[in-house]
Amino acid sequence: MKMAGDSVIDYSTIKGLRGKSFIGVGIATAVIRNDRLLMGLRRNAHAEGTYGTPGGHLRVGESFEEGAARELEEETGLKASEFSFLGATNDRFSEGLHYITVFMKALDVQGEPQLKEPEKFLGWEWFPTARLPKNLMLPVANLLKQNPEVFKR
């Protein structure tokens, strides 16, 4: 994954931050079509085996919209230029990582999802917003605890 200044931080670096005074800022993008939420099953990264929305780290100097658009295109090939704020979560992962995750909803999505980062996801699936999978990534689960209807609006 790339961060500010085009330096690369991989999962082993992130794992090394466990227990340190570090809080990451994540950006997550909800893509909803026909009452279905786009989610990917994570692999080879923290929260492996859980479903999450497209997202990653917010880069230094990025707005929420810029980060959401970048991560959405990097991971799925989808493009969007308009977003709305859905909420933010305070996420303490069992692996010892701590993140604040900002959720944005993409409003004008163009294209069909593609698996652009197969090292991080097994694939993209559309789930009815009323029947999301049980094994949700912690930030998604926390957002739903705050507002169970968040993806239905």
Tens of pLDDT, residue by residue over 89-147, are 999 988 888 999 999 999 999 999 999 999 999 999 999 999 999 999 999 999 999 99
Quickly state the pLDDT bin for 6 (edges 50, 70, 90): very low
Q: Which CATH code fits 4-152?
A: 3.90.79.10
The span from the first CA to the last CA of the chain, in angstroms, equals 31
Quickly state the pLDDT bin for 22 (edges 50, 70, 90): confident
Q: Between residues 100 and 5, which one has the greater pLDDT?
A: 100
- State residue 15's pLDDT score: 54
Statement: residue 2 has pLDDT above 80: no
Quickly state the pLDDT bin for 72 (edges 50, 70, 90): very high
Q: How far is CA 58 from CA 3, 13, 25, 79, 120, in A?
A: 8, 16, 6, 17, 17
Q: Between residues 4 and 144, which one has the greater pLDDT?
A: 144
Q: Between residues 110 and 5, which one has the greater pLDDT?
A: 110
- State residue 19's pLDDT score: 57
Q: Between residues 9 and 114, which one has the greater pLDDT?
A: 114
- State residue 98's pLDDT score: 92
Q: 136 forms bridges with which residues in the sheet?
A: 51
Statement: residue 4 has pLDDT above 90: no
Q: Minimal CA–CA distance to 121: which of 70, 81, 79, 74?
A: 74
